[in-house]
A and B are shown apart, each in its own frame.
Chain A
Amino acid sequence: MSLNYSDNEMMAISAGRFIKDGDIVFAGTGVSMLAATAAKRIYAPKAVVFFETGGIDPSLDEIPMAVSDLRVMSGTCLNSGLIEAFSIVGHRKLHTIAFLGAAQIDKYGNLNTTSIGNYFRPKTRFSGSGGACDVASFASGVITFMQHEKRRFVEKLDYLTSVGWYKGGDSRRKLGLVRGGALAVVTNLGVMGFDEKTKEMYLDQYYPGVSIKTIQENTGFDIDVSRAKEAIPPTEEELMILRNEVDPQRLICKA
């Protein structure tokens, strides 16, 4: 039986599958919240979801619409503030995985959430770093959600807001960032990984019904597809939990 599911649902489940028990998961807004909540409900009940605003392990009976949402303060083990939250992201004893989104990404997983065009007089201005630059600097790994389009997967970012593997190889470590880096990129077409040595992006999984060619055509740089395999579609159980427990009001699932 084939199931119907939306891009956001496939993305949330693909990302959620990366989370393991014991991980401390940093969630942003949108699909990333869906993924973080799904991960805890489905794959890693002992993972802890927390927010840069300072809410730690909220009950998340309703999906938050912002990282400051009252729902990230409800049923938590602790409510704190921004400085406390960032002391968790970079804590040497914790394995922290951050979910981020971006307007542009390059082949080393560096992200732009600031602007397109000239920085001082941009064609399009976005929100800016928020906590993204900080978690990209400090977390054990970053999973980024992207719409898979040529104009978003670019050779050169208009502005580098958050550092991934920087210029590839060991350049991130040489900057003085002692851990972390881009772990995966989850798009509406598939999941990308990063080569262990070169730190260049490669195609890891393509979603059922999506061709490798489509992904190549929608990527603005050459991407290695030699390791690509078809992704496992969401199971009925995964979708049920996602729709009925994680996002019962279908605020994000629907899109």
Chain B
Amino acid sequence: MIRKLTFGSVMLYAILAVLVVLYLTPAYMALITALKLPADITLPRAWEIPATLNWGSFSEALEMLKPNLINSIILTICATALSTVLGSLNGYVFSKWKFAGSEIVFTLFLFGMFIPYQVILIPLFQTLRAMNLYGGLPGLILAHVVYGLPITSLIFRNFYAQIPTALIESARLDGAGFFSIYTRIVFPLSVPGFVVTSLWQFTQIWNEFLWGICLTRYSENPITVGLAQLAGGQAVSWNLPMAGSILAAIPVLAIYVFLGRYFIRGLLAGSVKE
């Protein structure tokens, strides 16, 4: 279909072009600053493309953030796996094995997703300290798993609602029980649900900062805390924080660019009433 070049469509593309430039500006700025030599970074010439490309900032930032990156990888993989599996089981119960009051329980679960986490921070801090988990990754993993339960249960519940109840009923008539229905019917159909949920949890946990800074000691800091420390120091020249930002953003950006379809589904599942 060839569209006519009307005033309206010219305006549409013009506005879109301006918006694209505005949305990409921060990414452009981060990239050119990261590629400059520290001496070339001055405020009046902040927008200029560097004459010589200095890839060294990336390896330097990587060297500084390496412990944080390793912490974040361990944290994110463990917490994502655990909360996704639990969410899948919960979603299965919430959608296919409703009991008296299960809707109320589900609503009470959802509430946990919307609280400002400051309100549980002090007891969480004390509890982890009492359990000897304060300061290390296991405590942080525990926190992410528990407070990830509402969203993972929600996504899986809505996902399993699409599996026809008749399928479950007939399996039950054939003598299948609670767990065998899950392992033989529900779980094999769950792959997209697992993808959506784990991508969502991965980005959330990777990007999290408040617990990272309040609940871990220096050597166990995740990447966001490491980056904030790298960028917070006044003496550091700006190429390192920018290179660090790009490094911290790469895993989630890669998920988003290559698996964007699933990411958007998680995003919609987390907000729209089914």
Q: A and B, one complex?
A: no
List residues of B whose CB falls within 8 A of some A CB: none
